[in-house]
Structure 1
């Protein structure tokens, strides 16, 4: 019997402190099935069953196949005693570049990147736990942007690689995740790690996730007006810790950082790529290179005889955001938002925050630093010739897109409690507990 042929934990106050104790669903471990759970562990790890050592250890492996890279998250859970509930102990994280979508014409090579990461999983997870450790891959905007046949060929290759592995391969272990789930599960991750999901205050934090191909905003509205004024597709409902949550969430495909660069340049979806050169006043005047995104190569350049700088760049970037990004009713208020992924990377690159810790940044700080970077492009070119464009885009997205005030404080971070801020942990909970997001 598989470890995951299970029912549910009993309802209890302490249940809310543990990741495997989310809302009732058909995928949960129950006290009635603990004997089965322990027998499966004992079969795999006899030494763990001795009376002197009651601690049970189990793992979950989640692959995040993004547009600019593939990341593996290996989560370790422990159960110290049969009467206690499992807790999240730590995470092993590793990433490879480029993303799977770069192998759209060579799926076998894309599969090799997954094999490479599975080797790390085999070193991290003890051999006696392999056959009951689930491996799941969810692809995001990189594969969403590909033609269906290309995306399916890559997913088929990954399934074959998974089938070769010694780990537990659940049904539907390889899939493309929709953007709404991406935002909701990132919100679950951050609010779990910050302790908001099991407090009685009903206070939660919002999330801003900026990937390569898409960007997400998700928060729990305080005002009914936010829900009433939002498009119906921007509201997601699910049960968690015996609470029903109604979130504002949306994923903007094509508005991730790398896709937005190409859209700003007028290159995304353009023809004549063999001979066209796409220019922008957001780039250093003498800059010129070939850029590959999603397996397609573009010729990109600054404007040698033209002007460059923040104002012109802001005007160009606005075209990518104006009329596309919805402004939620209450983001001008005092809600706390955690911003991560490329928000974090570019804040570090531009010197706004320390890369080892992250930090609190006002929206106006992004604007101020964007102006500095754009008006001194030669100084920052060594860090990245795209830093002006990227910082301007982030400023424009936050202010003109989502409608944040200059004074809004964002917690810009990469990790919370030493765990990556991404949807991957939320997706692992979802696998164990099936949040049933609508």
Structure 2
């Protein structure tokens, strides 16, 4: 899904700091049920004074694999993964605060791609687990989130953590998110654009996802490598996305999820620090990975595929220039770069928690 931020930005009433003389602490629990794993984000907020805005103090993060969609035929087992993560929440949130602490789960591409009845069975199981828990369960606490909201809320998270949401200049950064079943690019538009990109996967042999088995094979004989891989990806990516002029300007884009993970795996950046890279750096490293061959096969075929896909998506799909700078980050101010914090803000606003 390709998404852009609407003209009316969500109201965000929190800021990061390390306050003293604390008067009240409260918590929020957000589950990110993605296609490759389920993650729990437990946020601690501090209210120093009733007339002042609360601040974000810290985040506890934990993840399990595989994602809920892997349990489409065994929803009870999927529910058990949520129970296990709720044990982390019980250890993090003081018992006296359990009844006041909202717990929310939002599922993304993994469940979006399942048949409706299987997705609903998993969501119903999660609802039962939530109802058994000692935490506060808001209305519509378990749902599937569309790709547009996923992109917008990730944008809110990153711009909040980098200080751009409450800066007087109103200058913001764009975000690039690449998950197991969908991808988002989100930025503050200078022109009204509304485009969508359906996610695609490329894999060898048989691969089942969302109830469908895909049969995909490479070249059995002859040279493969970067060029042919790039050509195959380009057939899927090029020409199906409107390329907004904003991506060709001077906007800063933060890239995370698989952009970060594959950059680390390929040695492009250090996993403990992240870093700033150019789009051409992905291209150069993709060539190096793909062209390390054992006879006719890359030594790391899946990494070759992923790095080539990222390169082609950035250049041919989104239209980034080779010298466009990308900030690769897993965390900002020690908080995960994902839509989860933005979604927590949204729920607190709806619950009138300020």
Q: Say which is worse superposed, 368-377 or 158-167, in terms of deviation.
A: 368-377
Q: Say which is worse superposed, 130-139 or 371-380, in terms of deviation.
A: 371-380
Matched with 1:427 is 343
Match of 2:14 among 15, 18, 40: 18
Q: Does the 8 A contact of 2:154 with 2:337 survive in 1?
A: yes
Larger RCO (CA under 8 A, 6+ residues apart): 2
With normalisation by structure 1, the TM-score equals 0.72
The answer to whether the aligner puts 1:261 opposite 2:202 as a matched pair is: yes
Distance in 1 (CA, whole Å) between partners of 2:118 and 2:97 is: 34
Cα gap change, 1:253 to 1:394, in 2 (>3 Å): same
Distance in 2 (CA, whole Å) between partners of 1:399 and 1:322 is: 9
Cα gap change, 1:164 to 1:395, in 2 (>3 Å): same
The answer to whether the aligner puts 1:316 opposite 2:232 as a matched pair is: yes
Cα gap change, 1:370 to 1:68, in 2 (>3 Å): same
Q: Does the 8 A contact of 2:202 with 2:216 survive in 1?
A: no
Match of 2:249 among 333, 343, 363: 333
The answer to whether the aligner puts 1:209 opposite 2:177 as a matched pair is: yes
Matched with 1:405 is 321
The SS at the match of 2:248 is coil
Q: Does the 8 A contact of 2:23 with 2:49 survive in 1?
A: yes
How many angstroms does 1:349 deviate by?
A: 0.6
Matched with 2:275 is 359
Q: Does the 8 A contact of 1:54 with 1:82 survive in 2?
A: no
After superposition, the C-alpha distances for 1:122-181 in whole angstroms (9 at most, x for unaligned) are 111111111110000000001111111111111001000110100000000000001111
Distance in 1 (CA, whole Å) between partners of 2:216 and 2:237 is: 21
How many angstroms does 1:315 deviate by?
A: 0.9
The SS at the match of 1:406 is coil
The answer to whether the aligner puts 1:63 opposite 2:63 as a matched pair is: no
Match of 1:106 among 58, 67, 74: 74
Match of 1:158 among 126, 147, 153: 126
After superposition, the C-alpha distances for 1:340-367 in whole angstroms (9 at most, x for unaligned) are 0000000001111110010001000000
Distance in 2 (CA, whole Å) between partners of 1:294 and 1:377 is: 32
How many angstroms does 1:79 deviate by?
A: 1.5
Which runs of no fewer than 5 residues in structure 1 stay unpaired? 1-14, 21-52, 235-249, 266-277, 279-289
Distance in 2 (CA, whole Å) between partners of 1:119 and 1:360 is: 37
Matched with 2:65 is 97
Q: Does the 8 A contact of 1:103 with 1:295 survive in 2?
A: no
How many angstroms does 1:299 deviate by?
A: 6.5
Listed as ranges, the matches of 1:126-275 within 5 Å are 126-221=94-189, 223=190, 226-227=191-192, 230-231=193-194, 234=195, 252-255=197-200, 260-262=201-203
Structure (1 or 2) with the larger CA radius of gyration: 1
Q: Does the 8 A contact of 1:101 with 1:295 survive in 2?
A: no
Distance in 1 (CA, whole Å) between partners of 2:328 and 2:166 is: 23
The SS at the match of 2:245 is coil
How many angstroms does 1:319 deviate by?
A: 2.0
Number of residue pairs the alignment of both structures matches? 336
Distance in 2 (CA, whole Å) between partners of 1:400 and 1:86 is: 43
Cα gap change, 1:378 to 1:359, in 2 (>3 Å): farther
Distance in 2 (CA, whole Å) between partners of 1:434 and 1:378 is: 56
Q: Does the 8 A contact of 1:67 with 1:294 survive in 2?
A: no
Which runs of no fewer than 5 residues in structure 2 stay unpaired? 1-10
Matched with 1:28 is none
Distance in 2 (CA, whole Å) between partners of 1:293 and 1:181 is: 23
Cα gap change, 1:381 to 1:116, in 2 (>3 Å): farther
